[in-house]
Amino acid sequence: MRIKAPESLLLIIDLQSRLLPSIHQGNVVIENAAWLLDVAQTIGVPVLATEQYPKGLGQTEPGLRSRLQENQILEKIHFSAVTESGLLNTPRSSRPQWVLAGTETHVCVQQTALDLLAKGYQVFIVEEAVGSRKPRDKELALQRMRQAGAQIVSCEMIAFEWLEKAGTPLFRTVLQRFIR
């Protein structure tokens, strides 16, 4: 199945200031999540973000937070973003395809993905935009999510599938601003 912009939602999970220094290659995860967020906003794909217990882990990384409106950020205490955040009660949740980025891959990203899959959503995990403290935990989580039905994808796979074709003004804008 292809990823389609009118059917997609980008969910950025728990990319928070106090957690990020512990994440293996956390700066790469942030760079890729920011890139995805910017592409999504350029194309018109809705974006939501979650914060896991922000009193303890801090708010969303400032560079990402500055790109979002307050109503796009949901606070949570459960590891799965689906459990109590109200995530599935937002108007945007009617979209069947969910693209996930964030931390930690083997905890909040995985539990969110498994819950979304159980509810019948199509789930896409952006490999270079998710992270864990230990690389092995990330690797195992990606395997498990794939086995459960999630698709593991790259940033550019998402962008080009959202765009669908070349030769449009939107394609030229995304190409000039984001594709290197």
Percent of the chain with pLDDT over 90: 74
The CA distance from 133 to 89, in Å, is 31
The CA distance from 20 to 7, in Å, is 30
| pLDDT of the residue at 51 | 92
120 φ, ψ (degrees, to nearest 5) = 95, 10
CA torsion sign for 112, 119, 149, 49 is negative
Task: List, for residues 97-107, the tens digit of each pLDDT value.
Answer: 999 999 999 99
Domain range for 148 is 5-178
Domains held by the chain: number = 1
Task: List, for residues 20-46, the tens digit of each pLDDT value.
Answer: 999 999 999 999 999 999 999 999 999
Q: What is the pTM of this model?
A: 0.94
CATH number at residue 21: 3.40.50.850
